[in-house]
Amino acid sequence: MADYKERLRDVLKEKAVIFGEVTLSSGEKSNYYIDCRKVTLDAEGAFLIGEVLSDMLEDADAVGGLTLGADPIATAVAVKSYEKGKPVEAFIVRKGQKAHGMMKRIEGPIEPGSNVIIVDDVITKGGSILEAIEAAEAEGHHVIKAICLVDRQQDGSDIIRDKGYKLEMLFTTADLGVSAG
């Protein structure tokens, strides 16, 4: 796993880190952006994410998170877990409850009461992960932990842990060669 994780770090550094002033989803300004979709939707990036995260699943039945950041991560992990003979399902948490059809907030082949892992691409203030946790728990699922690819080191990980959830990050901004902020 170490070689895959090291390569994933290198791919994130090469493809996802973009310098220039941006407004983050938290509303804060930053002098860089981490666009993980350039990696999670990349063939090599998806392979590496699936490989690394599929070894971190513990006793999970399913893996997913808030759309859009979590979707390709969950899919990559589900595919790789199947390949390794220990399949977990992927699921998507909508940003709001669907107003028609089955009116679901969570989509995917996830059974009631499942043990789930919440995933996300980047954590700043923790809002996306907490929203996904809330939706999963509202449907009776047990959240084992959350995993994010990159922690911007702007208090999000502390906020999630302070609420009693286990959180694992693959990398921090420092690992990608940028300073927090």
Give the residue numbers spanning the domain of 125. Answer: 2-176
Does the residue 54 lie in any domain?
yes
pLDDT score for 72: 98
What CATH number is given to the structural domain containing 112?
A: 3.40.50.2020
Write down the residue that tokens 């790789």 correspond to. Answer: 80
Specify if 181 maps to a domain.
Answer: no
Identify the pLDDT of residue 95.
86
Closest CA to 59 of 77, 86, 92, 83: 86
pLDDT of 94 > 70? The answer is yes
User: Is 17 a domain residue?
Assistant: yes
**pLDDT, tens only, 48-78:** 999 999 999 999 999 999 999 999 999 999 9
Counting the structural domains of the chain, the total is 1
Examine residue 132 and state whether it is found in any structural domain, yes or no.
yes
Which phi and psi angles does 62 have, rounded to 5°? Answer: -155, 160
**57 within some domain:** yes
